């Protein structure tokens, strides 16, 4: 419970059994709710904000596309092109200069360009040697910052600021307008292409795919507002979460040389050498079990989304014995869940990729209510497999060519944000790896 004058009614839990109860067993009784929708208004009626039939439709639509082999290969093509044309040349440039670089910023720019290409079919070129300020990217970052701000102050305060257009809410209004203009301009461009009958039978960006589905069905269900909301939610799912996972993975690998050695040994075992000439694709990376374990460990210790929330419709009693009143907001601390000794053992604070490997060398699958970073129950993340593919492809491309070394004296700290990033960036030096 919060202070009486704030009308804040929260119950915080890190118990996996409670997670299973709320997210699976009693799924229908726990929703995002009206307050969530208000705080995350920028998400519109997209999949993260929606409940009931709207959520079901969004999930069904995304699932029908994400499961396609063609979409998996389309994502592979986009990532590979971005690696070859942007990321590797920039890291080469940084390495040759011998300068310190904020690798988190590099990943942020990479993932923004990548998600723009996957969702909208355009490349804003955030990841360039001159590290430009790109308006749409800055607007997106500002929106996320304002959403976090709405979580930490009483609702009445930010509602008043929104009405008066002052402080963070003034920034929110400006940023939302700017980012919406960017998305709507892309929607109009795609509609114009379809009106002109420009044919392309290959799998393309998601915006075009949604429009084609609408055209094929001859039923107008995907108006501009629907497409805008779908695009924004996909940006949230595929941008900062990947940045966070990559940043903490490379930090942990850089500070655990033995893990780095084992990852490189696995790559050599699978591809014959770490001096890889062949183009690594989606099928190749699926065989890298140790790297998979390292990614899981990074996400366990530093979950990209550090907290999740639900709201009870009716009263309930949790397995832990706690009473939930109607309209109570449940906060799940994913950061705490990944560090519970009762769940992960006495070595819960250690970075051990082996934790995710079976005796036979396969991947250990922990239940989603225990490893909650990809959500659980009916709302389990649809893009989980695609996320692992992307992170593995990027990790291999970097680790095989470079050694990432933490800049002396730089101590990473946790950001205060809806996404768990490093507050002061991830300052590193890049050196060529000797083969």
List binding-site positions: 381
The CA-atom distances, in angstroms, between 341 and each of 192, 249, 344, 348 are 56, 21, 5, 6
Alpha carbons 55 and 60: distance in angstroms, whole number: 9
- Distance between CA atoms of residues 369 and 295, nearest Å: 18
Q: Is 410 left (phi over 0), alpha (psi -120 to 50) or beta?
A: beta
Query: Binding site for heme, residues?
Result: 381
Which residues lie closer than 8 Å to 257 by C-beta, 6 or more apart? none
The Cα 226–Cα 403 span in angstroms is 44
Buried residues in 19-52 as b, exposed as e (16+ CB within 10 A): bbbbbbebeebbbbbeebbebbebbbbbbbbbbe
12: alpha, beta or left? (left if phi > 0; alpha if psi -120 to 50):
beta
In 3D space, the residue among 75, 88, 369, 6 whose CA is nearest the CA of residue 234 turns out to be 75
Backbone φ and ψ for 74, nearest 5 degrees, come out as -65, -45
Task: Return the closest-CA partner of residue 307 out of 183, 408, 400, 419.
Answer: 419
């Amino acid at each position: 419970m919060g202070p009486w004058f704030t009308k804040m009614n929260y119950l915080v839990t890190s118990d996996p059994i409670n997670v299973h109860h709320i997210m699976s067993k009693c799924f229908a009784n726990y929703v995002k709710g009206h307050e969530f929708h208000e705080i995350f208004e920028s998400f519109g009626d997209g999949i993260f904000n929606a409940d009931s039939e709207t959520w079901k439709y969004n999930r069904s639509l995304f699932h029908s596309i994400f499961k396609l082999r063609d979409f998996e290969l389309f994502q592979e093509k986009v990532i590979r092109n971005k690696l070859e044309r942007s990321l590797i040349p920039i890291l080469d440039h940084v390495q040759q200069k011998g300068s310190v670089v904020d690798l988190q910023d590099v990943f942020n720019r990479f993932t923004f360009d990548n998600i723009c290409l996957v969702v909208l079919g355009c490349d804003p070129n955030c990841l360039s040697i001159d590290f430009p300020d790109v308006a749409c990217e800055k607007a997106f970052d500002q929106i996320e910052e304002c959403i976090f701000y709405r979580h930490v102050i009483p609702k009445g305060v930010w509602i008043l600021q929104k009405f008066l257009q002052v402080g963070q809410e003034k920034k929110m209004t400006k940023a939302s307008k700017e980012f919406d203009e960017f998305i709507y301009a892309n929607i109009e461009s795609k509609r114009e292409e379809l009106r002109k009958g420009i044919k392309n039978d290959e799998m393309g960006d998601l915006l075009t795919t949604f429009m084609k589905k609408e055209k094929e069905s001859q039923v107008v269900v995907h108006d501009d507002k629907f497409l805008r909301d779908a695009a924004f939610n996909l940006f949230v799912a595929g941008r900062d979460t990947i940045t966070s996972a990559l940043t903490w993975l490379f930090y942990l690998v850089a500070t655990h040389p033995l893990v780095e050695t084992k990852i490189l040994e696995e790559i050599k075992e699978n591809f014959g050498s770490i001096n890889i000439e062949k183009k690594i694709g989606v099928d190749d990376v699926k065989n890298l079990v140790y790297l998979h374990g390292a990614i899981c460990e990074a996400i366990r210790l530093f979950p990209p989304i550090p907290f999740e929330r639900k709201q009870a419709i009716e009263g309930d009693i949790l397995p832990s014995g706690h009473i939930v009143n109607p309209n109570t907001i449940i906060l799940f601390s994913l950061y705490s869940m990944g560090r519970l000794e009762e769940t992960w053992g006495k070595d819960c604070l250690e970075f051990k990729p082996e934790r995710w490997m079976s005796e036979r060398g396969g991947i250990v699958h922990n239940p989603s209510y225990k490893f909650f970073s990809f959500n659980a129950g009916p709302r389990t993340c649809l893009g989980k497999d695609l996320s692992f593919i992307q992170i593995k492809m990027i990790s291999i491309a970097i680790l095989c060519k470079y050694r990432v070394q933490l800049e002396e004296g730089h101590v990473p700290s946790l950001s205060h944000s809806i996404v768990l990033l490093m507050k002061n960036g991830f300052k590193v030096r890049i050196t060529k790896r000797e083969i």
